[in-house]
Structure 1
C-alpha cells in the first residue's frame, strides 16, 4: 500500500528540515505492507523562509502545497485531498522520526482489526542537534484517543468521519474533535510504541510566555467550539470546562495573582540554574488559568 504522510507547517523551517530528512531516510523492510510512500507538506501561510527553502529542494518523496494562514485543520484537509495513499499518516512539522517509523505503523495496522488506527510514541525533547537521543520519560505519556502528532489511519475512515472541522482555526482540539467522530464509527486505537517520533521544542525561556499565554487562550476558545459540537461530560473534562478546574487553577494561581509578571523572577532563576523544564511546569499554573478563563467566557471568543 502507498502511505501518505501529511504534515501542516507554519514558520518552522529549521526543525522542518530535520523532519523531512528523517522521513526520507525511512527503511522499508516489507514491501508487501508498504509499496511506497509520499511526504505531503502543507504550508499554512508561513512568513519565514519555508517556501523558498522548499523551492530549492528536490526530495524524492516530497510534494508540497501552500494555503493562506487558516490553521492546521484546513491544512491537514488539503493534505488529505492532495494525497494519493490508502494510508494517511499525520505528524507535526516539529517531529523527527526514527528510520523504522513507517514500517512500525504498517506492521501494527496489518496485525490489527479493520476498524482501527495506530498511535505511535511521542518523546518531547529540546535537543535540536540530536533530538532522537532523548530517552522516554513519564511526562511523555499521552492518554489521547486521536492525536495527530503521530497517527496512521486508513483514508476511508477519515473520509467517512468527514475530515477535520475548519471551524478550528486557532490552536487546539481539531484532532481530538475528529477523534470523537471516529470513535462513533467504532474505530479502535492501537498503540504502536515502535513508531517513535521526537517532538522538538526550544528550551523554555521568558520570551516564550506571550506566545504560550495566547496559545492557552486560543485553546480555551477552541475548547468552547469543541463542546458546542459535542456537549458531553467527557468533552467538558477534556477542555477543563468544570467547576473543579476553575477552582483548582484559581486556587493554585491565587485567582490570577500568580502570573507571568509576579512569577517571572522565580522562573528566570530556575532557567539560570539549568532547569528550564521545571520552570515551564511551574508556569503551567498560570497558563492553565488563562485556559479556564477562556473556556468559561471570561476571555470572549472573537473571529479568528
Structure 2
C-alpha cells in the first residue's frame, strides 16, 4: 500500500536535507515524497532538488502559504495513504510502517491512525525529547469525543501524527488557504469529523522541532483573525456531530483559552458573541481597567473553574 509523504517547504534550508533523508530511511518502502516549495528565498529548493528521483518529486509555487502548498502536494500525490510532514520535523523510522499495519488490520478507509509526538530542540540525537500533549492511547470510536478532548486542552492537533486514506481527504475538501494560524487544527477537525474513528498506534512517533519562527507562535492581527475563523469552524464541526451541553461547554473552553492567550480586544469581543451563542454569558470585556487587570491575573483559574462546572455530562 503506497504512502505519500507531503512536505510543504518555505525557507527550510537548515532542516530540509535531514527531513528528506529521514523519510527515505523509513522501514516502509512503498512510499513517495512530494515536496512543494512555497516561494523560498533561501537555498531550500536547490537542496531539495538534489534528492529528486523516481520516488521524490519537487514542485515550486509562488509564495501562497503552507495550506496552498499542502493542497498542491496532495493534488500531485498518487499514494492511497497520506502522511503530512512539516519541513523541519522528523519521524521515527518505524512510524509509517507501524501505522500502515494498524490501518490494514482495521480495514476501514474512513479510519484515522494517530501516533505519539515528542518535542525537541536542536539536534534530535543530542537533545532531550519531551513528550508533548499527544493523542490518548485509547481509540476514539466516536470522533466527537476526541474533538471534545482537544477543546478541553487535553491533546493537540499536529499535522504529522496522522495517517489517512486519500478518499477520506477527498470528502473533506482542501486546506483553507486563507488561514495563517491554526490552519492544521481547522483542517484536521474537519477530517476527524468525517472519520469513522481515530486509532492510536503505540509504535512510532513524530519528532516535533521547537523553532522560534513557527507559525503557531504568531501574534499579529492577521494571525489573531485567522485563529478566530479557525475556532469558529472547529466548534461548528463539533456541534454538528453532537449539539449537547458537554459539547457547547467544551467549545466555550476553546474560545476562552485563546482569550487568555491573545488579550486582543478584536478576538475577545467576537469570541464573547460566539460564547453567548453557545448559551453562556461570560462578560470579560468591561472597560474598567481594574477589572481587566483582575481578569488577566485570574483568567486561568476562571477557565479551570468553568471547565469543572460545565464539562460535567
CA contact (8 A) 1:157 1:182 kept: yes
1:217-228 alignment runs, 5 A limit: 217-228=221-232
Post-superposition offset of 1:145 = 7.0
In the alignment, the residues of structure 2 paired with residue 17 and residue 124 of structure 1 have an alpha-carbon distance, to the nearest angstrom, of 20
Report the equivalent of 2:78.
Answer: 84
Does 2:57 match 1:63?
A: yes
Partner of 1:289: 262
CA contact 1:127–1:134 (8 Å) conserved in 2: no
Measured in 1, the distance between the counterparts of 2:156 and 2:107 equals 17
**What TM-score results when the alignment is normalised by the length of structure 1?**
0.68
Q: Determine the C-alpha separation between the residues in 2 that align with 1:41 and 1:123.
A: 23
Q: CA deviation at 1:178?
A: 2.4
State how far apart, in whole Å, the 2-side matches of 1:178 and 1:245 are: 18
CA contact (8 A) 1:5 1:37 kept: yes
> Residues 103, 212 of structure 1: CA spacing in aligned structure 2 closer, same or farther, 3 A cutoff?
closer
Q: Aligned in 2, Cα 1:120/1:184: closer, same or farther, shift over 3 Å? A: closer
Sort the Cα spacing of 1:27 and 1:187 in 2 relative to 1 into closer, same or farther, 3 A.
Answer: same
What per-residue deviation string (whole Å, max 9, x for no partner) do you get for residues 193-251 of structure 1? 3221212235x6xxx69x8763465542212222444545455533xx33x764xx3xx
Worse-superposed segment, 63-72 or 2-11: 63-72
Q: Is the Cα contact below 8 Å between 2:181 and 2:216 reproduced in 1?
A: no
Cα distance 1:130–1:147, how it changes in 2: closer, same or farther (>3 A)? same
Any residues of structure 2 matched to 1:106-255 within 5 Å, and which?
A: 106-112=100-106, 114=108, 115-128=110-123, 130=125, 134-137=128-131, 139-141=132-134, 143-144=154-155, 147-168=158-179, 170-172=180-182, 174-202=183-211, 214-215=218-219, 217-229=221-233, 230-231=235-236, 233=248, 234-238=250-254, 241-242=255-256, 246=259, 249=260
How far, CA to CA, are the matches of 1:213 and 1:37 in structure 2?
32
Q: Please state how far the C-alpha of 1:167 moved relative to its aligned partner.
A: 2.2
Could you say if the C-alpha distance between residues 111 and 14 of structure 1 is closer, same or farther in structure 2, counting changes exceeding 3 Å?
A: same
Give the Å deviation of 1:60. Answer: 5.3
Partner of 2:14: 14
Gaps in structure 2 of 5+ consecutive residues: 136-153, 240-247, 271-313
Q: Deviations over 1:132-153 (max 9, x none)?
A: x64443x443555753132110
Q: Secondary structure at the match of 2:14?
A: helix
In the TM superposition, 1:26-65 aligns within 5 A as 26-28=26-28, 36-58=30-52, 61-65=55-59
**Equivalent residue number for residue 96 of structure 1:** 90
| TM-score normalised by the chain length of structure 2 | 0.66
Gaps of 5+ in 1: 29-33, 250-287, 299-304
- Equivalent residues of 1:112, 1:190 under 8 A apart: no
Q: How far is 1:186 from its partner? A: 3.9
